[in-house]
Amino acid sequence: MNIVKDAFIKSLPILVGYVILGFGFGILLADAGYGVLWALAMSVCIYAGSMQYVGVSLITGPASLLTAAITTLVINARHLFYGLSMIKKYQNTGIFKPYLIFSLTDETYAVISGNQEERPSIFYFFLSFFNHCYWIIGTVLGSCASSLPFNTEGIDFSMTALFVAAYTDQLLKKTNIIPSVVGLIVTLIMRFLFGKDLFLIPSMIVITLVLLLLQKKSKIQQGYGSQHQGQNCQLNKRQHQQKETKDE
């Protein structure tokens, strides 16, 4: 019971953001002519945040299945990189693993990756489940309230604001900010080189490579430090033995 409560508390910062964002998606989908059942089905089965917003234009426009597939891959490609960093945390999650993979979002990733404590698989499940529920509730409420007058302009920016807030909160709790600095610098450079529509995937690739190189360098330095420390210990031991021999 304490695990469920802890997961719920950890999910609270995401609650308001997901309900508001889901609300906006429900309104947009209803304006496109798709009712509450469609909103519910998309949020239960797709659960892709920004991709669901894009999906509204895909299902109302002349987009082919191939176009929809490629668009989805490009927008959600970042999850491939998220997943790589979650292998260790999710490796012993058993029956929960398929759902944890499915429900890994930007905000859920930010909360889990920022928590250095070892957690049982049931904690990850309920954290992901609560966040999923917030999104579903928001979309259903938005779809039901679509008949009310709303100005939806700019509402999709709430997702960006939510992730920035979650990122900042986790950054303030960390002692090693090198990965964050690397990510920020690389992203700005890639944004300048490739433009706002194409910078995401190159940024992810470069960030991953740089962090892997830094990790490898750190391990080499640690190994050298351990080896050097071991040599010093052996040298001190020999000197101590020689001193004892002289005393005798």
| Predicted local confidence at residue 217, as pLDDT | 77
Express each pLDDT in 151-175 by its tens digit.
Answer: 666 666 666 676 677 677 767 766 6
pLDDT at 41 over 80: yes
How many angstroms separate the CA atoms of 157 and 154, rounded? Answer: 6
Q: How confident is the model at residue 77 (pLDDT cuts 50, 70, 90)?
A: confident
- Please, which residues have CB within 8 angstroms of residue 134's CB and are 6 or more apart in sequence? 11, 14, 15, 18, 19, 22
- Please, which residues have CB within 8 angstroms of residue 128's CB and are 6 or more apart in sequence? 99, 100, 103, 104, 108
| Predicted local confidence at residue 244, as pLDDT | 59
- The single-letter code of the amino acid at 181 is V
pLDDT at 182 over 80: yes
How many angstroms separate the CA atoms of 181 and 184, rounded? Answer: 5
- Please, which residues have CB within 8 angstroms of residue 122's CB and are 6 or more apart in sequence? 3, 4, 96
Express each pLDDT in 78-126 by its tens digit.
Answer: 787 778 788 888 888 889 999 999 999 888 988 888 777 778 899 999 9
| Predicted local confidence at residue 242, as pLDDT | 61
| Predicted local confidence at residue 125, as pLDDT | 94
For the chain, domain boundaries: 2-174, 180-248
Higher pLDDT, 49 or 115: 49
How many angstroms separate the CA atoms of 118 and 90, rounded? Answer: 11
* Beta-strand runs (E) in 61-210: none
